[in-house]
Structure 1
């Protein structure tokens, strides 16, 4: 039976032969003279004194140890998963890969549900792919019926749960409803960059029933490793077969893979969970304190490492905080988020400084 991925993938990708890098081709031997590397190289001080003294060699085609370690972590929460996983340079590369793999410029469209993460539309625009927008409802949940109307003409549906910038998780029942409705038409992508901060479970456990479900994850948020640019894309074999044709020859640098493996060790996971628990406590305290301020109209619920706040009309909270040396994220560009700013949760000391500044906001 033909998979949905094979029906949707453009003919150019269908015919594409993946670039055969030296590491991808592999081989056995004791002299490695196939990748135009320097067999001997200068020692750059401390740079070459770490756990990896082979920086003159290209990294693995795909960092299997890193990907497997992350899959093991996922299975601790979701049970045994029947899917493939690939490490990518942050969740943003996963989004870009999906658009380039399954969309044909000038012909296909994706669906997004604003207000949501801006990279979905950006990646589509950069590849001349149309973006169909089905705005969230007033409670920031999905407008399921209107999304369904767009599924027959759309290749990808991007859902962000928990959602950025609104902070809420998407009802799993709605995701299942859309997975059922899209079986023959659309690949459904659930971006779970903030899942560790959420009370909602991951959508990963749905993969065994819905092979057209794709999940994006990252080490940038709860793991606190934004600088290393390491994310993960989890999908059925039928989907990954085409993604692997477009993935870069050496997508993850060895130092990145080393740091990721440490973060995914038993000790690393324990530290992440402690850090996440502490952040959630600070988030809830901060929300409570915000609601006591006269300038604050509404504090939205959050299952992320940030809070979305609506201030009273005509109060320029963003500019005021800038003047106090506190940089937040203005949401004025989103029609549904007038008078709103998004504030990342930092240390309790940072949030206390922010609160003290806001007490003087008129």
Structure 2
């Protein structure tokens, strides 16, 4: 096992050889002159006048590829430095960038811990990268990632990226930080360990961001889609060693965040926005406790897994009947039966108080039988 590395650079041999010296696209914004203040911008073939749909002209110019104010806001939020932050189109883009930058098409591999978020495998397969699945352990109360099995599978397959969702989707379980750190150390010469904390605001465990300084090959993903209630804005970040951040920025497509999205994200990360998010998270946690208790008492619900996210994974006696009952009440939950070992499972998001009451009422109502009238 490799010991923790203080003040050691990111091992660039983990980056695809053909991308180590790749300069990326030089956008009009990154190539703008410095020194004398610029007054007239004629370098990007932009419109000289504002659109009639954009009265103040804020969208007339191409945005900064990495908006400085937003990068700094995220760095402040996570008590780190801007050179450790990559902003992009949700966590999905960060996942794709990592696979693209580190894995050779047709070679290397990524390791995932099934059942888990499907985009890890989708991104890998779109790049021709093998996907190695290490099953999680189901103890009928919660799910546990087998980090020893992950390390062994990564070594055997020559994997360059390991994806750990913590809290997991759809499991709701976290990977203990001591195991994350040990896995990053174990694979430091071979693979990057990515901790996807899309649901991290709802977890009791502190963020893996606290491990970044000592573990250069660790990456943490965060998003504004869940707790911050901005799923439609598609804003996510990767937090990583500055050397890796530099690589990810170079392979990223130009202008990932539109100007209006950046402005919205900045409001969400302001003082009042963060206070509102904290209040919302507290409401969700209280509701999660209440919903978990009454879900476990319902007939037909066999297992309600412990959750540190804003949802529950449940096993039920008759998933089709439950989906029909909820559908008749206009309630949609996620059918998880397409995933390994979840042939009887559904995922239920914690919504608002009234939405949870509607869910409870629908699940508590005995099914009705319609009989044909005699001729």
Aligned to 2:91: 91
Give distance in 2, aligned partners of 1:149 and 1:82.
Answer: 34
1:151 aligns with 2:160: no
Alignment of 1:209-224 (within 5 A): 209-224=214-229
**Alignment partner for residue 26 of structure 1, among 32, 41, 44?**
32
2:41 and 2:25 mapped to 1: Cα distance? 19
1:14 aligns with 20
Q: Is the 8 A contact 1:315 1:339 kept in 2?
A: no
Please state how far the C-alpha of 1:229 moved relative to its aligned partner. Answer: 0.7
Equivalent residue for 2:49? 40
Which of 69, 75, 92 pairs up with 1:65? 69
Q: Which residue of 1 aligns with 2:58?
A: 54
Note closer, same or farther for the CA distance 1:23–1:361 as it changes in structure 2 (3 Å cut). Answer: farther
Q: Distance in 2 between the 1:318 and 1:290 partners? A: 15
Quickly say closer, same or farther: Cα 1:2–1:277, change in 2 above 3 A.
closer
Structure label with greater radius of gyration? 2
Q: 1:227-246 alignment to 2 at 5 Å? A: 227-246=232-251
Distance in 1, matches of 2:163 and 2:223, equals 16
Structure 1: gaps of 5 or more residues: none
Let me know the Cα RMSD of the aligned residues: 1.8
Query: Which runs of 5 or more residues in structure 2 are unaligned?
Result: 1-6, 368-375
**Structure 2 residue 257 is matched with structure 1 residue 252:** yes
The alpha-carbon deviation at position 319 of structure 1 amounts to: 3.5
Q: CA deviation at 1:315?
A: 5.9
Q: Identify which of 332, 351, 356 aligns with 1:351.
A: 356
After TM superposition, give the deviation of residue 5 of structure 1 in Å: 4.0
Number of matched pairs: 353
C-alpha distance after superposition, 1:5-64 (max 9, x if no partner): 4112112212322111100112242110000011113432xx435xxx321111112111
CA, structure 1 residues 262+314, in 2 after alignment: closer, same or farther (shift >3 Å)?
Answer: closer
CA distance 1:158–1:361, change in 2 (3 Å) = farther
Q: From the superposition, tell whether residues 178 and 83 of structure 1 become closer, same or farther in structure 2 (CA, over 3 Å).
A: farther
Given the two structures, how large is their TM-score scaled by the length of structure 1? 0.93
- 1:338 and 1:63 map into 2 onto residues whose CA distance is 44
For 1:100, the equivalent position in structure 2 comes to: 100
Mapping of residues 95-134 of structure 1, within 5 Å: 95-134=95-134
Moved over 6 A (4+): none
Query: Shift in Å at residue 355 of structure 1?
Result: 1.1
Task: Give the C-alpha shift of residue 313 in structure 1.
Answer: 5.2
Deviation at 1:166, TM superposition (A): 0.6
User: Which secondary structure state, in structure 1, belongs to the residue aligned with residue 341 of structure 2?
Assistant: helix
Query: Alpha-carbon deviation of 1:196?
Result: 0.4
